[in-house]
Structure 1
Amino acid sequence: MRFVLASASPARLAVLRAAGIEPSVIVSGVDEETVASRLPDPSPSELVTALAMAKAEAVARSCDIATITHGPQAPEDEGAEDAEDAVVVGCDSMLAIGGEVVGKPATVEVARARWAAMAGGTGELLTGHAVVRVSGGEPVAVASATRSTTVRFASPTEAELDAYLRTGEPLAVAGAFTLDGLGGWFVEGVDGDPSSVIGISLPLTRRLLAEVGVSVVDLWRGGQE
């Protein structure tokens, strides 16, 4: 059984590795704006779950899965039905604050405005999760859900915020902060699942894997030997 992470996030990869899984990584290339535009007035939870599912399904249906499951040295006449099973996990995170759901700020100006709204307050970090089980080269089962965690923010000084913005870290992450990086200095605490704030909830992923018939212990490095 192979575990495929449909994300380029180094934070999600680090969480999984620390938890005993060495995933294969395939970036979905999904256009998030296109996916969102097809949803009729979605709730924040519906939006992040739909984006996570779109990423997982895109990777599950990609030709790269065959390479991962069979391996590069597979015999040419080996049929798809003999392919090793795989589970593909996709995630998407957004921060709900002040009645607005926000993703990656991309620019210093937007990140600064986000922190002006967040400092000294709280936000809800929503992470959508989707799991697709692949067998014989085809998706055979799916499961999805969203985990919400309350984040309590500190109030960085102007000099601290300027220095943080100069690092570039907050520009490429949902909500303009990290828990496991430099942004952790400015988070007072979380109420809920810390791993979900980092990018992938271990307890929720475990439950979703069980829903598609996979035990997480079978995915641990020791269980794959």
Structure 2
Amino acid sequence: MQKRRFVLASNSSRRIALLKLLGYKFDIIPHEIEEDVCCDILPSDLVQNLAFLKANDVAKRVDDAIIIAADTIISCKGAILGKPKDVYDAKRMLSMLSGTEHDVLSGICIINMPLKKKLLRIGRTYIKIRHITEEEIDAYIQTGEPLDKAGAYAIQGKGKKFIEKIDGSYTNAVGLPLEIVREMLNNILNDTNA
């Protein structure tokens, strides 16, 4: 039986659906952080920093809860791909990913309020995309699906037809690595000072 209040610092339908799979009840309080990926920073540091900023933003508005926040990006050929700015940016990203392997990285931050204890972790999944024709890219962009997804594709949606191989956590590639989140929550809940 769940005794603590959980808060997801996101209104992402994907993260909400994934967190429900763990069986916890939780409230949704979206963060108010700008997700700026135009930084000269390692992708792993970027996702951890953004996850922390999101969790910390919500922690300032919540007195007693366990706050869960995440950020997901794609790292391909040395470039960090967040959500596309427009259809042209989505086309650029999909063209870059075509026929390549890339990393999907998720930073996860859990903060236990009011103790302000925090845990930070990273999930990583390797994905190989088959060659995608320009016509396929244009048709996919017309669906609207790529416009709010890191790397301009949804592995759980119509974008799955482009996936040739997945190595690692599928739920991480969707946006919330459940294996890691479960372990982090168990650590927080089993902490004798929690």
Q: Same fold (TM over 0.5)?
A: yes
**1 CA distance for matches of 2:126 and 2:111?**
27
Residue 213 of structure 1: aligned partner: 189
Partner AA of 1:17 in structure 2: K
Residue 109 of structure 1: aligned partner: 88
Unaligned runs of 5+ in 1: 67-84, 216-225
Q: Work out whether residues 149 and 191 of structure 1, in 8 Å CA contact, stay in contact via their aligned partners in 2.
A: yes
| Alignment size in residue pairs | 188
Listed one character per residue, the Cα deviations across residues 2-40 of structure 1 (whole Å, up to 9, x for unaligned) are 22110121111111123323321111101233x976xxx
**2 CA distance for matches of 1:149 and 1:128?**
12
Q: Work out whether residues 22 and 182 of structure 2, in 8 Å CA contact, stay in contact via their aligned partners in 1.
A: no
Listed one character per residue, the Cα deviations across residues 126-184 of structure 1 (whole Å, up to 9, x for unaligned) are 100000012xxx24311001111101112233332212101221111111111111111
Q: Work out whether residues 171 and 177 of structure 2, in 8 Å CA contact, stay in contact via their aligned partners in 1.
A: yes
Matches within 5 A, 1:77-88: 85-88=64-67
Residue 34 of structure 2: aligned partner: 31
Residue 23 of structure 2: aligned partner: 20
Matches within 5 A, 1:1-225: 1-33=4-36, 41-62=40-61, 65-66=62-63, 85-134=64-113, 138-214=114-190
Residue 219 of structure 1: aligned partner: none
Q: Counting helix residues as a fraction of each chain, which structure ranks higher?
A: 1
> SS of the counterpart of 1:183?
helix
TM-score, with normalisation over the residues of structure 2?
A: 0.89
Residue 80 of structure 1: aligned partner: none
**1 CA distance for matches of 2:155 and 2:24?**
21
Q: Work out whether residues 7 and 28 of structure 2, in 8 Å CA contact, stay in contact via their aligned partners in 1.
A: yes
Q: Work out whether residues 60 and 139 of structure 1, in 8 Å CA contact, stay in contact via their aligned partners in 2.
A: no
- Detail structure 1 runs of 4+ shifted over 3 Å in the superposition: none
Q: 1:163 to 1:139 in 2, by over 3 A?
A: farther
Unaligned runs of 5+ in 2: none
Shift in Å, 1:214: 4.6
Larger Cα-atom Rg: 1
**2 CA distance for matches of 1:24 and 1:98?**
38
Q: CA RMSD in A?
A: 2.0
Q: 1:54 to 1:36 in 2, by over 3 A?
A: farther
